A and B are shown apart, each in its own frame.
Chain A
């Protein structure tokens, strides 16, 4: 079993729809990251969470530490939101850079 599981693996939506991507993890964490990877390969850090909820524009990220679960929501989705969204967690100890990554959710928003 992977330490970080994302669902769904692929998601197709119509422009304007509300989108939710889920992330469950099985290890103790100090922080959880939501990342966006564009087709060219570059990665943008969207959120870093250790508790509660964060909002940036149309993006909202929540985390429930007790349930070891996080969600990324996109309101009023747009074709430019099409990308792979990756959940990554930082555990305790070990290499500082050793984020544990989910396999990503490929989002396609149709006009």
Chain B
């Protein structure tokens, strides 16, 4: 199964700043996703990272707030822009190679905004 390395594992940031989270996979995968998990809540899909093109965002998430890059089949970044305390969450990278395979998750980035 794919091994996912996500960095940073945690960070404490100031209001109004931006943070970029990196997701590196040890093999080429078809699909990469970014999820948010707010405190005490289920995971929510932010967007699907598309290789070489703009990400596909879910309702309620916009590119200006959560710009995503995916330059190749093994790497993606998520930036949380102009952060506010409401952005304090765990952000998770996830990959899926084929629809009939398990979906794998990274260790997450625990983000706190002061």
> A residues engaging B (CB < 8 A)?
30-31, 33, 35, 40-45, 47-48, 86, 88, 95-99, 101-104
Contact = CB atoms under 8 A, between A and B. Distances in A.
Given A97-B45, A101-B43, A104-B42, A45 B108 contact: no
Interface of B: 1, 9, 31, 33, 37, 41-43, 45, 48, 56, 58, 90, 92, 94, 96, 99-110
Contacts, number: 64
A96 B105 contact: no
Given A33-B102, A41-B37, A103-B42, A97 B107 contact: no
B108 A42 contact: yes
Contacts of A102: 42
A44 B106 CA distance: 8
B102 A97 contact: no
Nearest to A40: B107
B9 A40 contact: yes
A38 B5 CA distance: 16
